[in-house]
Homo-oligomer: A and B are copies of this chain.
């Protein structure tokens, strides 16, 4: 069932006349058309039975059609009154709404007031939870894109590791990674790329800089790409020159915790249980105080979305959920290590999207 049909079904079930979707991420989700028209009006209207319609700036109409939108469109010029055009288009469908669902966590008060002026007697209900519950489960097409996005993240780690050399700075390595991706057509990262070395690995939100790589450093990469509108997110930590016993111990603890959580993924398990599995291993090894964040987060059109993999999230995993598993230990007296994979909940277990090896990679410093 298409996403639009799912929403129509929801509207019928709850006796709502229309859903009005204006958040660019959600417009993309239901229509395949990605645009950010800033203050100009872009929205998809979905009804119980009538054909949906998209309202958008006139100049973007061809792009929406190229993106596969085959339903009604209402294009508006800067000199038009888009809200009046919208009302007219609804009247043309012989629909007189008494209840409209909107994204209350995104729609601005100004826009709600504009709609209320058109429809003073309509009541407005939340569409947010319905959209979240749809987006949290990825379909086959979305999974295919997420696999590709993860493969580019693997490639980025390969490039980063191959660039490690004595005296090179974090920023030089970061720049080489992003240039290599740009050459493959990846123009946007899903967040600011992180390349941290030596003591800086112990800061979970550290900023890459001019520090030069030295023998004995661990080097931490945390990055992801945006591919066809979907995000990947990977972390790997590698050694430059032979690591110390303590560095190895921290690394192997994180690796064991990460793998145990990955192996526990299957439908019916609670998100909080995964967090506990990884955290218990790190705590038993004596590093509990240095694992200072949640285990992971959902991944899709947004780099942080549902489900949140935290110690208090009782949400049960469902087939098709995609999220990160990324335990870390940040012990300033030894090193920081984080290992992060993107995983999908399958029918009876897990598929790991990110494939770069997790055995400790040691780059020769000779």
Q: How far is the CB of A172 from chain B (nearest CB, A)?
A: 7
Collect the chain B residues with CB atoms within 8 Å of residue A183's CB.
171, 210
Residue of B nearest to A210 (CB): B183
Q: In the bound complex, what is the Cα–Cα distance between A105 and B112 (angstroms)?
A: 10
Residue of B nearest to A109 (CB): B104
Residue of B nearest to A128 (CB): B110
- Please encode chain A, from 72 to 97, with 1 for each CB lying within 8 Å of some chain B CB and 0 for all others: 00000000000000000000000000
Q: Assess the A109–B110 pair: CB atoms within 8 A.
A: no
**If the complex has contacts A175-B175, A179-B171, A179-B172, are A105 and B108 also in contact, measured as CB distance less than 8 A?**
yes
| A187 CB–B CB distance under 8 Å | yes
Q: In the bound complex, what is the Cα–Cα distance between A38 and B191 (angstroms)?
A: 14
Collect the chain B residues with CB atoms within 8 Å of residue A14's CB.
none
- Partner among B109, B182, B210 whose Cβ is within 8 Å of the Cβ of A107: B109
Collect the chain B residues with CB atoms within 8 Å of residue A207's CB.
187
Q: Taking each of A39, A107, A108, A171, which has the highest tally of chain B beta carbons within 10 Å of its own beta carbon? A: A108
Q: In the bound complex, what is the Cα–Cα distance between A192 and B108 (angstroms)?
A: 27
Collect the chain B residues with CB atoms within 8 Å of residue A109's CB.
102, 104-105, 107-109, 112, 124
Within 8 A of B (CB), among A150-187: 171-172, 174-175, 178-179, 182-183, 187
Collect the chain B residues with CB atoms within 8 Å of residue A39's CB.
105
| A289 CB–B CB distance under 8 Å | no
| A13 CB–B CB distance under 8 Å | no
Q: In the bound complex, what is the Cα–Cα distance between A207 and B185 (angstroms)?
A: 11
Q: Assess the B187–A179 pair: CB atoms within 8 A.
A: no
Within 8 A of B (CB), among A192-218: 192, 207-208, 210
Q: In the bound complex, what is the Cα–Cα distance between A174 and B179 (angstroms)?
A: 9
Collect the chain B residues with CB atoms within 8 Å of residue A172's CB.
179
Collect the chain B residues with CB atoms within 8 Å of residue A182's CB.
171, 174-175, 208
Collect the chain B residues with CB atoms within 8 Å of residue A174's CB.
182
Q: Assess the B179–A175 pair: CB atoms within 8 A.
A: yes
Within 8 A of B (CB), among A99-124: 102, 104-110, 112-113, 124
Interface set of A (CB-CB < 8 Å, partner B): 38-39, 102, 104-110, 112-113, 124, 128, 171-172, 174-175, 178-179, 182-183, 187, 192, 207-208, 210, 304
